[in-house]
Copies of this chain bind each other. A is one copy, B any other.
Amino acid sequence: MPRPYNFSAGPATLPEAVLQQAQAEFLDRRAAGASVLELSHRGPEFMQVAEEAEADLRTLLSIPDDYAVLFLQGGATTQQALIPLNFADPGQAADYVLTGHWGATALKQAEPYVMAHIAADTSVDGYRDLPARDEWTLSGDAAYVHYTANETIHGVEFRDIPDVGDVPLIGDFSSSIAAEPLDVSRFGVIYAGAQKNLGPVGITVVIVRRDLLGRAGQPRAPILDYRAHDRAGSMLNTPPTFNWYLAGLVFKWMLAEGGVAEFARRNARKAAVLYEAIDGSGGFYRNTVAVDARSRMNVVFSLHDDGLDARFLAEAKEAGLISLKGHRVLGGMRASIYNAMPEAGALALAGFMGDFCKRNG
């Protein structure tokens, strides 16, 4: 029996080929005599895994040489605390753009350390659109401007990189990194928990323009200091080796499939077929996000009658379509269609939605 299509928002579906390779070499990778889980992080076998992962990610995302790439623990949320500690003076202003739940989380992590300023906030509209750039109120002296490229709960995504002049732009790309080509040179920092588009949970990628590592920041322990992690090649302490290895397998898979340009095409087609299933349902399914702000990664929708929700989820599961229940904040449904979701999965879901609508409309 084929595996179900898993629309989980993260931890999310992984490429089946990657899972099969990791399973095959789970007890002994390349005659090392041990599982990747059991190898010293400083031994030659794992050092090669780590170096290839960084090189492949640099290729995949066209990361310029003047950017450091860190592989860290703690998830995106930890980086949201480390960003002010590393890049802002104590009490300095920092601008936050809130377009959903995760932008608000980033703000909360920063508040103990900076004068956090909300430059834009679409919460009054329920985060259903993006704030026009000319309506942002930026501080004159901000250490940086932070925004969330894609909001997984509200299904809202920036498709253009906002222009904030010379102030470093920091983007949380946890749920959309590597979904399409990105001009990394426009950013001061890009960070992403891996568990959506890059592979497994438990490892986080931080891409930092090197000149920002020279900022004094605030008093902090070495383990909370990006400079120390950079100097140690992300091995200041024992890194999550198996998670790093799995992410590396996902990078190789993405390159072999054609890289981010190819995934941009696939992701556009997957999102189109699902939004068509919603918009063409005559109101049976609804998505209230402004069309230009709709996420390609997280397609949020509700049924016109939420009394049908349980039946929709049960029948979808029967049809091999799982983890479609929406986040508790919004209710309804959510189909997360990151890079590892095959186009066949989106087509199968769209077909099911059409059929369910006919039978219950």
Q: Which residues of A contact B (CB under 8 A)?
A: 3-4, 6, 8-14, 16, 19-20, 22-23, 26-28, 33-35, 37-41, 43, 73-78, 80-81, 108-113, 193, 195, 200-203, 219-224, 236-243, 246, 320, 322-323
Contacts and interface: CB of A to CB of B under 8 A. Distances in A.
Contacts of A239: 201
A316 to B, nearest CB: 12
Contacts of A34: 3-4, 6, 8, 13, 322-323
A50 to B, nearest CB: 13
A9 B12 CA distance: 32
Across chains A and B, which 3 residue pairs bring their CB atoms closest together, nearest first? Answer: A202-B240, A81-B221, A77-B237
Nearest to A28: B3
Most chain B beta carbons < 10 A, residue from A11, A34, A222, A323: A11
Given A243-B240, A322-B33, A223 B73 contact: no
Given A4-B33, A109-B221, 8 more contacts: A11-B39, A14-B37, A19-B37, A73-B74, A78-B223, A110-B221, A113-B219, A201-B242
A105 to B, nearest CB: 8
Nearest to A37: B200
A92 B28 CA distance: 49
Contacts of A193: 237-238
A237 B202 CA distance: 11
A298 B39 CA distance: 16
Contacts of A237: 75-78, 193
Contacts of A22: 26
Contacts of A28: 3
Contacts of A76: 237
A242 B43 CA distance: 23
Contacts of A243: 202, 240, 242-243
Contacts of A23: 23, 26-27
A252 B319 CA distance: 35
Nearest to A237: B77
Contacts of A223: 74-75, 77-78, 80-81, 109
A240 B23 CA distance: 18
A9 B201 CA distance: 24
Contacts of A112: 219-221
24 contacts: A3-B27, A3-B34, A6-B38, A8-B39, A8-B43, A10-B40, A19-B27, A23-B26, A34-B323, A37-B200, A40-B323, A41-B201, A73-B202, A75-B238, A77-B237, A78-B223, A78-B237, A80-B223, A81-B221, A109-B221, A193-B238, A201-B242, A202-B242, A240-B240
